[in-house]
Amino acid sequence: MSLFLEQWKKLANIKCDLAKRDWFYGTSGNLSMKISDDPLLFLVTADEKDKRARCDEEFIVVNNLGEPVFDTVLKPSLETLVHANIYEKTSASCVLHVHTVDNNVISELFGDEGQVELENNEMIHILTSSYFENKITVPIIENAQDMETFKRAYTPFLTNDFGAVLVRNHGITVWGRSPLETKKWLEGIEFLISYKVKLMMIQGHKIKAGN
């Protein structure tokens, strides 16, 4: 199996798995997987597609400018330039972006602080493979309609080959060195976010975090 078909199959399987969790409300979310470094080519989800359905036109091959390299009537995801920026500045091989109710809530509650700390949970040890770490800090950036501005907002946080960024009232973007690592971090951080949101509700926290 060629690398192209292998990556296509891996990304399609991830998309189906995340769709079963109902993480693609409407046509939201975007996923990608790198095919080559030089030149930079990667698969990315097509815009305005129901990601809960399997089809022959799930993904488009694009270059570093986010442009399709083959003739197609489909358009790449609007956030394709964000994916390209991550691939250019890190050694990531996969980028996953989903919108969930909990990641939107947490990004609004802690948006003014510019980050949220997820701590005191066994999932952290599973993600980091270390019992010495008991906290994960996820940065929160503001949403932007201009894609160049939006892309640049990620840049200060692209210092590792794996990581995550929350976009205020928008969703979460996670990248990793392999599809498995990326999916593991996405699932793990979403678990921690959901845990924190529900714990705050049960403990009777006020609307504004920290009160």
Positions in the chain short of pLDDT 50: 1, 206-211
Do the bridges between strand 59-62 and strand 41-45 make them parallel or antiparallel, or are there none, so unpaired?
Answer: antiparallel
CB burial of 170-203 (b: ≥16 within 10 Å; e: otherwise) equals bbbbbbbeebebbbbbbbbbbbbbbebbeeeeee
Q: What are the two backbone dihedrals, phi and then psi, of residue 107, each rounded to the nearest 5 degrees?
A: -70, -30
| 208 within a domain of the structure (yes/no) | no
pLDDT at position 57, please?
A: 67
pLDDT at position 5, please?
A: 85
Number of domains in the chain: 1
SS3 78: coil
Q: Domain containing 70 — which CATH number?
A: 3.40.225.10
pLDDT at position 209, please?
A: 47
pLDDT at position 211, please?
A: 47
Sign (positive or negative) of CA dihedral 121, 126, 127, 128: positive
pLDDT at position 207, please?
A: 46
Put simply, whether the predicted model's pTM sits higher than 0.75 gets the answer: yes
C-alpha distances in Å from residue 209, one per residue of 51, 73, 89, 191: 33, 45, 33, 19
pLDDT at position 135, please?
A: 92
| 207 within a domain of the structure (yes/no) | no
| 17 within a domain of the structure (yes/no) | yes
